[in-house]
Amino acid sequence: MEFGPSFYHEFAEAWGKQDGYRLAPTLSPELSTEQLRTIYQSQNAHNVKNALKHGLQGSVAGVDRIDQVELQAWVEVYAAYWKATGVILDAWETSDGDSKELPWSKVYEAWTDLLNFLLRGYQNAGFEAWTIPCLYVVCKHLRIFAIKADAERNSNSASSLDDGAAANFQDDFDPETNKNQKLEDCARVLGRVFNVCHMDRAPIEESRKWASYYIANLLLKTYFRLNSASLSKHILNSLRAGRADMPPFSAFPKSQQVTFEYHQGVLAFLEENYAEAEEHLTAAWNQCHKAATRNKELILTYLIPCHLITNHTLPTEKLLEPYPRLQKLFLPLCRCIKRGELHKFDLALQEGEDEFVKRRIYLTLERGRDIALRNLLRKVFIARGFEDAKEGEKPVRRTRVPVAEFAAAISLGSQEKIDNDEVECLLANMIYKGHMKGYISRQHGIVVLSKSGAFPGTGV
């Protein structure tokens, strides 16, 4: 909104009600080029701070809580915002062709300036905690601009690698190290914001700690994109350490809770803490907004492999019904696991390898092979039927299974002959992992299975 009466009115209204969510949109760059132009043309560089000062002062005349230092700090913030609108306008209006100028890099710089002024307001000018939604909107867009700037530079240097890049850098120039230059910078800036909020010592009602999860989520998202899960740990640890002085987690907006649980879950997942991952992902799933299909899909992408490991359950068709992408990803594997089709499982895993690796679930899904094998061995056991029943007694399954039968089952489908040592090794592993109860009698070439629960948890 241009720096005119309606803007000042909005500022005063937000101020009077101490409504940060009303104030925040006045710092949003999500505007059409027309709107950006209106703002930018409503002032000039020479006059902008004066005009702002008069305008803001007039608007909050009735609000006695704002002092001169604080007012001046807001003037600086809005002046920086005004400057940024001009640069953003430029960026939108620059055509693809002459992108040597890297307009989005300039946007990123201008927006960083804005964030710094805002941050200074909190550190030095007594900005109150109710205004933190301003911090949200500015931080959120800093990240977006960083990503744009990196994309722009990368596509630019790709097309002119010969001249530009070679001239600017030494022989050992590696385009990869520079790929996320702005986003890495953004992560550092957001880290500072996180500290300014999380380390706030004010009483909880007026503490910037209320911004901790929002900023932490932005940071985690950024670290994920930069592929540095270890830095994420650092954020989780400081949140955990400060938990006693924080408002309860359930007091935060659900959007923040769900996003945070998701990231926590994925982090645990990547560390192979599947029980913990399942806990967080299930919490994210339960609290997730019912209409947020894409996010639900992302949660399930990790929750499904989790379930496979923790309690050996598979998604039902009903669960996957709304998600064609997940069906494609998981259904073939699930089918093979259920039927114990070991060879087809291997093929399905190979088939989806690229996609699984990309989503970082390959290694976890690979462990599903154990379950497929368990199911196959279970089928052999069941196919052998029962001992001749004695009068008046419950039928007992035949628990002595020749190793050769297991071997035949395992090599079924692949047509590859597998030797008995290898089969015994697989069986021993199954027993060791608790998927099967019994022992191998090498002398007789048989496996003696437990009469009660040969395949624990599966009803036989």
Partner 1 sequence: MASSQTTSKKDDHKTATTENKPDQPQATAEQKPAALEEDDEFEDFPVDDWEAEDTEAANGGGGGEGTQHLWEESWDDDDTTDDFSTQLKEELKKVEASKKR
In the region spanning residues 79 to 98, those forming contacts with partner 1, defined by CB under 8 A, are: 91-97
DSSP track, 398-452: --EEEHHHHHHHHHTTT-----HHHHHHHHHHHHHTTSS-EEEETTTTEEEE-SS
- In the bound state with partner 1, the residue whose beta carbon lies nearer, of 91 and 349, is 91
Q: Work out which of 286, 350, 420, 429 binds partner 1, going by CB under 8 A.
A: 286
Q: How far is the CB of 43 from partner 1 (least distance, A)?
A: 21
Q: Residue 451 in contact with residue 396, Cβ under 8 Å?
A: yes
Q: Work out which of 290, 390, 394, 417 binds partner 1, going by CB under 8 A.
A: 290
Q: How far apart are CA 275 and CA 312, in angstroms?
A: 12
Query: Among all chains, which residue has been given the structure tokens 């029962």?
Result: 386
Q: Work out which of 277, 371, 436, 440 binds partner 1, going by CB under 8 A.
A: 371
- 378 near partner 1, judged by CB under 8 A: yes
Q: Work out which of 375, 399, 426, 454 binds partner 1, going by CB under 8 A.
A: 375
Looking at residues 87 to 146 of the shown chain, list those that interact with partner 1 (rule: CB under 8 A): 91-97, 140-141, 143-144
Q: Residue 318 in contact with residue 328, Cβ under 8 Å?
A: no
Residues 6+ apart with CB under 8 A from 126: 67, 69, 70
Q: How far is the CB of 233 from partner 1 (least distance, A)?
A: 18
* Burial of 97: CB neighbours in 10 Å, binned 0-12, 13-18, 19+: exposed
- 354 near partner 1, judged by CB under 8 A: no
Q: Residue 279 in contact with residue 335, Cβ under 8 Å?
A: no
Q: How far is the CB of 390 from partner 1 (least distance, A)?
A: 23
Q: How far is the CB of 232 from partner 1 (least distance, A)?
A: 13
- 72 near partner 1, judged by CB under 8 A: no
Q: Residue 298 in contact with residue 262, Cβ under 8 Å?
A: yes
Q: How far is the CB of 262 from partner 1 (least distance, A)?
A: 5
- In the bound state with partner 1, the residue whose beta carbon lies nearer, of 120 and 398, is 398
Q: Work out which of 129, 221, 235, 280 binds partner 1, going by CB under 8 A.
A: 221
- In the bound state with partner 1, the residue whose beta carbon lies nearer, of 44 and 286, is 286
Looking at residues 310 to 329 of the shown chain, list those that interact with partner 1 (rule: CB under 8 A): 312-316, 318-319
Q: Work out which of 18, 178, 273, 282 binds partner 1, going by CB under 8 A.
A: 282
Query: Among all chains, which residue has been given the structure tokens 């027309």?
Result: 34
**Would the CA dihedral through 212, 213, 216, 218 be positive or negative?**
negative
Q: Residue 24 in contact with residue 33, Cβ under 8 Å?
A: no
Q: Work out which of 126, 175, 253, 324 binds partner 1, going by CB under 8 A.
A: 253
Q: How far is the CB of 265 from partner 1 (least distance, A)?
A: 11
- Which ranges of 125-159 would DSSP assign to H, the alpha helix? 132-159
Residues 6+ apart with CB under 8 A from 265: 276, 277, 278, 279, 280, 281, 283, 284, 299, 302, 303
- 362 near partner 1, judged by CB under 8 A: no
- 348 near partner 1, judged by CB under 8 A: no
- 155 near partner 1, judged by CB under 8 A: yes
Closest to 28 (Cα-Cα) out of 148, 134, 146, 147: 134
Q: How far is the CB of 94 from partner 1 (least distance, A)?
A: 6
Which helix (DSSP H) or strand (DSSP E) does residue 108 occupy? helix 103-124
- In the bound state with partner 1, the residue whose beta carbon lies nearer, of 146 and 197, is 146
- 340 near partner 1, judged by CB under 8 A: yes
Looking at residues 180 to 209 of the shown chain, list those that interact with partner 1 (rule: CB under 8 A): none
Q: Residue 209 in contact with residue 197, Cβ under 8 Å?
A: yes
Stretch in the footprint of partner 1 (CB under 8 A) among 29-37, 40-48, 76-84, 418-426: 29-37
Query: Among all chains, which residue has been given the structure tokens 């000039």?
Result: 44
Strand pairing partners for 397? 386
- In the bound state with partner 1, the residue whose beta carbon lies nearer, of 59 and 364, is 364
- In the bound state with partner 1, the residue whose beta carbon lies nearer, of 51 and 409, is 409
> Phi/psi at 7 (nearest 5 deg)?
-65, -45
Looking at residues 383 to 412 of the shown chain, list those that interact with partner 1 (rule: CB under 8 A): 383-384, 402, 404-405, 408-409, 412
Stretch in the footprint of partner 1 (CB under 8 A) among 5-13, 63-71, 251-259, 390-398: 251-259
- In the bound state with partner 1, the residue whose beta carbon lies nearer, of 73 and 377, is 377
